[in-house]
Every structure is written in structure tokens, then in C-alpha cells.
């Protein structure tokens, strides 16, 4: 033991799970030997929070605020989550999108506090040793990435660790998952991004990405060892490339408790937005036609859940599939291209004329909604938005790519070009827009409305796995929680400030699905919603 760690008090300062800083009471200071090691006055929780806000307000750049919050979390985790929970609207864009994109890009240059596990390809065959080194006695949720498709930024290699860290912060802030029972993981299998391979400060393996059987073996070893140590853990796959995301989900979905947030979480929150839009349009989801700009994980995940939603209204699945169409890098996905298509696109290859012009695709397919998920900015042009307004009394415009620099259009463009007719949602935050005297309040189709609550419900019920029905249940429950006042101002989602009570209700609905379908590993409580709320961690 070093000289500085001889006393209990000094050790308490150095553990973020026990440190309370100036909030240690006089009694605690005496018991722990802290008297004289802290300023005389004892701070209240509120004073601690406001002191941190004052510090944060000194910084203008979001990335600088993120670094301050990073430091706070490394020293006083309880205060970090009190701050984040109390001011979720203000700090979620700092902890996650859009700032997390820059955080990942600069990760190797700003790295200070190790958090989570960095499982390298060099650990193959010895992953158990790495898993055993994790300090967590229990883990309820793991978020894992291989860094290949980070947001709309592409291959970030080990720098992608910023995503699991940010996601798990939201699991706690939005749904009360105990932070001591969360674990971010990055699988470092190399990177194909030359600028990182050439960067002397890059912290990951300096080699091209490992593919094929060796890659699959490392993933399998990680999952096996994680579940060996923590048998009930939920594993969330995050930001894997298309070539791995779909097949990993297909392989593991009905074997272990897991889901892919890019495919399934995004789908759930977007379907929520569509249900909300139906309340404004006073139409049925079975009357809609959805055209996606993009055909990757998010697009096909959303399309699959929209098909489930339409089928749940009594429509034949083959017919329901016709309500969704894809537009990829080569143009409209049609039957003429069927042989060369990836498997996840083939169900949506319809009998239409080929075109590589998105505007022409709109004129041909006549969608009631366009959904941007290709991370290609400014693709919802003036002509595209005008055509959607021409075809529909209330066109649905979802510009979901993030960070903000990748958005297909801005909220202001959507509302002004359609003359206030658009039903708009985005992947990154936009300010309210005033058009002809009316204020529109756009809200993000943000996965944080859904994935933390999905995890909460699944972990609470000790679910065996997470079938697609859970994600549709979550979407329907969230849509029920959008108020008439929200809808009147064009908001298709509730305010993020309500996220904790919203998560309780979604978590209870997801847990109920597990109990109703014999997927739960424990007994159903008499008052499920109350039990879920009591299960949640509160700073």
C-alpha cells in the first residue's frame, strides 16, 4: 500500500463509486478519517450539482464540456449521474450524439481514464483472462462494438469505444441501470482507416481489420466468456459493419439475451414516430408507404418492424412488405437488381423501374414518408421536400442520420419548404422553428427513448432472449406517452426531461411481454410497474 492510500478516507476519494467530495457529512468525515482533508463546509447534493454546472458553463465547445464530464465521472460517479439525470436535455447531446462523434474521432488524443474492456485480437484464446480482470462483480448490461461503423463516421477502430461508454451512461441516466453493473467493451480487430494507422497516438492495433473465421472465433469467445462469468447479462451489439451486424444478430438473437441497437433499437423508436404521425394525420399505418434513403442496418431494421406493425393490423405479410421500399448507393432497389443484392435487401426489391435519382424514385413510388438513414448530408433537397408536400397533405420527413453534419436536411428546411406541412423527426437535435407565426418543436427520433428501457425490462425479468415482438411493444407504449400538447407543436416524441417515468412504463411493458411469452427467468410481481421502478438505480 502506498503512503497516500494508508487511510480509509484517502481510498474513498480515489474510488468514483464511493467518493462524495465536499458532500461527505461531518459524521462520515469522522468515521472515515476525512476531517481536515476537505474544506470545512459540507455541501448538499444540490450545491454539488450547481457547482459542476458553473464549471461546465465556463466552456463553450461541447467537446470540452464532454472532457470535464469525463473527469467528473472518473472521480464521483454519483454526482455525474445526478447532474446528467437532472439536466438530461442539456447534457445528453454532450454525453452522446452529436458530441460523441467528435469524442470518438479524437479518442486516442484525449484518452485519460480507462473504462471497460479493450479485447484485442491478440487476446484470442485468452479472453477469459481479460474478462476475469473486469472489476465488476455483477454485470447486467454490456455494450460492445468493433468500431467499424461508428454513427455516420465509418471505421473508427478502437476509437469507437466512445460509443459503448456513452450508451451505457444513457442506460443509467434514462432507465436507472446501476452504473456499477454496466460494462463497455471494444473488440479491437484492427482498422482499415489509414489515417489512424499512421497516427503515432492511435491506441489500437496497427493492422487491417481481421475478417472471416478468426473474427467470428473472437466474437464467440468473448460472448461465451462474458456469459460464463455473468450468465444473465444483456449484450447489446453496437455500430458493427453491415457485413457482420446482420449475421451476428441472426446467429445469436434466439440463443442469448442480446439485441442490435442500430437494427432493432432504431426501428423501435422510428415506428414510435410513425404511430405519433398517424395520430396527427388521423390515418392508419396500413395506409402509408415508406421510402428509405439508405439500405443498411437501420433502414432494413426499421422496414422489418414497420412490416410487423402493418401485419399486426391484419395485413398479409407479403402485402405489408410492399409498403416499404429502399434506395441504396446504386439507386432504387428493384427486382431487376435482385441477383446482386445483399440478403437483407432482397425482400424489398419491388417490381419498379430502375432509377438512381431519389427524386424520381419518389415520383414513382409515391411515398407518404421518407426516412433518411444513409449518413449522406443534404440529400432531402428543396425539390425532394416540395415533391413530398405535393404528394401528401402532411408529408412525413425523418432525417435520422447523425451527427448533425450528416443530416439529410435541417428542421428549418423541412418546415419552411413544405410550408409547415411536414411531420419531422431527426437523428440529431434541432432548435424550434417558427413558420408563419407557428412554433414547431422538432424532437429527435433518438434511440435513448427506447434502448435503455428495453434493457431495463429485459434485465428486470431476466429474459432468455429478445424477440422482435418486444421492440414493437416498446414502440407502441412510447407512442401512447406522447401528449396531445406535444403533437400540437409537431413533436412526435415526449420531452427527454420525462425520460425516467417513460422508461418505467416501457420497461414494464417489455417485462410483461417476457412474462406473457414464457421468456422470463423469475416470477412476475403483483405490481409490475412499481417493481420495475423500485429496481432502478437513483443517484
Tell me the CATH number at 418. 3.40.50.720
Average of pLDDT values for 308-329? 97
Q: Does residue 129 sit in the same domain as residue 20? A: no
What is the chain's mean pLDDT, rounded?
Answer: 95
Residue 392 falls inside a structural domain: yes
Residue 480 falls inside a structural domain: no
- pLDDT at res. 394: 98
Q: What is the pLDDT of residues 505-536, one digit of tens each?
A: 999 999 999 999 999 999 999 999 999 999 99
Q: Does residue 209 sit in the same domain as residue 108? A: yes
Q: Does residue 420 sit in the same domain as residue 307? A: yes
- pLDDT at res. 151: 85
Q: Does residue 213 sit in the same domain as residue 102? A: yes
Residue 145 falls inside a structural domain: yes
Classify residue 150 as exposed, middle or buried by CB count within 10 Å of its CB (0-12, 13-18, 19+).
buried
Q: Does residue 215 sit in the same domain as residue 282? A: no
Domains of the chain: total: 3
Q: What is the pLDDT of residues 163-203, one digit of tens each?
A: 999 999 999 999 999 999 999 999 999 999 999 999 999 99
Residue 487 falls inside a structural domain: no
- pLDDT at res. 208: 97
Q: Does residue 218 sit in the same domain as residue 132? A: yes
**How far is residue 383's CA from residue 388's CA, in Å, rounded to a whole number?**
9
- pLDDT at res. 52: 97
Boundary residue ending a domain (388, 413, 448): 448
- pLDDT at res. 8: 60
Residue 279 falls inside a structural domain: yes
Q: Does residue 202 sit in the same domain as residue 293? A: no
The kind and range of the H/E element at 321 are: helix 317-321
- pLDDT at res. 2: 39
Residue 271 falls inside a structural domain: yes
- pLDDT at res. 1: 34
Residue 478 falls inside a structural domain: no
What is residue 454's three-state secondary structure?
helix
Residue 491 falls inside a structural domain: no
Residue 236, CA atoms < 13 Å, CB-side half-sphere: 32
Q: Does residue 316 sit in the same domain as residue 441? A: yes
Sign of the alpha-carbon dihedral angle for 306, 311, 317, 319: negative
Average of pLDDT values for 411-439? 96
Q: Does residue 418 sit in the same domain as residue 332? A: yes
Boundary residue ending a domain (424, 448, 472): 448
Q: Tell me the residue length of the chain.
A: 539
Boundary residue ending a domain (413, 448, 483): 448
Q: Does residue 268 sit in the same domain as residue 383? A: yes
Mean pLDDT is lowest, of 10-19, 75-84, 214-223, 253-262, for: 10-19
Domain around 386? 264-448
Q: Does residue 176 sit in the same domain as residue 37? A: no
| Residue 111: CB atoms within 10 Å | 15
Active site residues: 96, 167
- Tell me the DSSP string of 11-59: HHHH-TTT--GGG--HHHHHHHT-TTTS-SSPPPHHHHHHHHHHHHTT-
Q: Does residue 271 sit in the same domain as residue 381? A: yes
Amino acid at each position: 500500500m502506498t503512503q497516500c492510500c494508508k487511510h480509509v478516507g484517502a481510498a474513498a476519494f480515489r474510488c468514483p463509486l464511493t467518493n462524495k467530495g465536499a458532500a461527505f457529512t461531518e459524521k462520515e468525515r469522522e468515521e472515515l478519517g476525512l476531517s481536515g482533508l476537505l474544506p470545512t463546509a459540507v455541501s448538499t447534493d444540490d450545491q454539488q450539482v450547481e457547482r459542476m454546472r458553473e464549471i461546465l458553463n465556463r466552456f463553450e465547445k461541447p467537446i470540452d464540456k464532454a472532457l470535464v464530464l469525463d473527469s467528473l465521472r472518473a472521480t464521483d460517479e454519483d454526482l455525474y449521474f445526478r447532474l446528467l439525470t437532472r439536466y438530461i436535455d442539456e447534457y445528453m447531446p454532450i454525453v452522446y450524439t452529436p458530441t460523441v462523434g467528435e469524442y470518438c474521432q479524437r479518442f486516442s488524443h484525449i484518452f485519460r481514464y480507462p473504462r471497460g474492456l479493450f479485447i484485442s485480437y491478440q487476446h484470442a484464446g485468452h479472453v477469459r483472462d481479460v474478462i476475469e480482470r473486469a472489476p465488476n462483480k455483477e454485470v447486467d448490461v454490456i455494450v460492445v462494438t468493433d468500431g467499424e461503423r461508428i454513427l455516420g463516421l465509418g471505421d473508427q477502430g478502437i476509437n469507437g469505444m466512445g460509443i459503448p461508454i456513452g450508451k451505457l451512461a444513457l442506460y443509467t441516466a434514462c432507465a436507472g441501470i446501476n452504473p456499477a453493473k454496466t460494462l463497455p467493451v471494444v473488440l479491437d480487430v484492427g482498422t482499415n482507416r489509414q489515417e489512424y494507422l499512421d497516427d503515432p497516438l492511435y491506441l489500437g492495433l496497427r493492422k487491417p481489420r481481421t475478417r472471416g473465421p478468426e473474427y467470428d472465433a473472437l466474437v464467440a469467445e468473448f460472448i461465451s466468456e462474458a456469459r460464463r462469468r455473468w450468465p444473465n447479462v444483456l449484450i447489446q451489439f453496437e455500430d458493427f459493419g453491415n457485413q457482420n451486424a446482420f449475421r451476428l444478430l441472426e446467429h445469436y438473437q434466439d440463443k442469448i439475451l442480446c439485441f442490435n441497437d442500430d437494427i432493432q433499437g432504431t426501428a423501435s423508436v422510428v415506428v414510435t414516430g410513425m404511430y405519433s404521425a398517424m395520430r396527427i394525420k388521423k390515418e392508419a399505418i396500413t395506409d402509408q408507404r415508406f421510402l428509405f434513403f439508405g439500405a443498411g442496418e437501420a433502414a432494413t431494421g426499421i422496414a422489418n418492424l414497420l412490416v410487423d406493425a402493418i401485419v399486426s393490423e391484419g395485413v398479409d405479410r407479403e402485402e405489408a412488405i410492399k409498403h416499404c421500399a429502399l434506395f441504396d448507393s446504386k439507386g432504387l432497389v428493384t427486382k431487376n437488381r435482385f441477383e446482386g443484392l445483399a440478403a437483407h435487401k432482397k425482400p424489398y426489391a419491388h417490381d419498379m423501374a430502375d432509377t438512381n435519382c431519389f427524386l424520381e424514385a419518389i415520383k414513382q413510388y409515391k411515398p407518404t414518408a421518407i426516412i433518411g438513414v444513409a449518413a449522406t448530408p443534404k440529400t432531402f433537397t428543396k425539390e425532394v421536400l416540395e415533391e413530398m408536400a405535393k404528394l401528401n397533405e402532411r408529408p412525413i420527413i425523418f432525417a435520422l442520420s447523425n451527427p448533425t453534419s450528416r443530416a439529410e436536411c435541417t428542421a428549418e428546411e423541412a418546415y419552411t419548404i413544405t410550408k409547415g406541412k411536414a411531420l419531422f423527426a431527426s437523428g440529431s437535435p434541432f432548435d424550434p422553428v417558427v413558420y408563419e407565426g407557428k412554433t414547431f418543436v422538432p424532437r429527435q427520433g433518438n434511440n435513448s427513448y427506447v434502448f435503455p428501457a428495453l434493457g431495463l425490462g429485459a434485465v428486470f425479468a431476466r429474459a432468455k432472449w429478445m424477440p422482435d415482438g418486444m421492440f414493437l411493444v416498446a414502440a407502441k407504449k412510447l407512442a401512447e406517452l406522447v401528449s396531445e400538447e406535444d403533437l400540437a407543436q409537431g413533436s412526435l416524441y415526449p420531452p427527454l426531461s420525462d425520460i425516467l417515468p417513460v422508461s418505467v412504463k416501457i420497461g414494464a411493458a417489455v417485462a410483461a411481454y417476457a412474462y406473457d411469452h414464457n421468456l422470463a427467468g423469475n416470477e412476475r410481481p403483483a405490481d409490475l410497474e412499481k417493481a420495475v421502478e423500485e429496481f432502478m438505480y437513483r443517484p
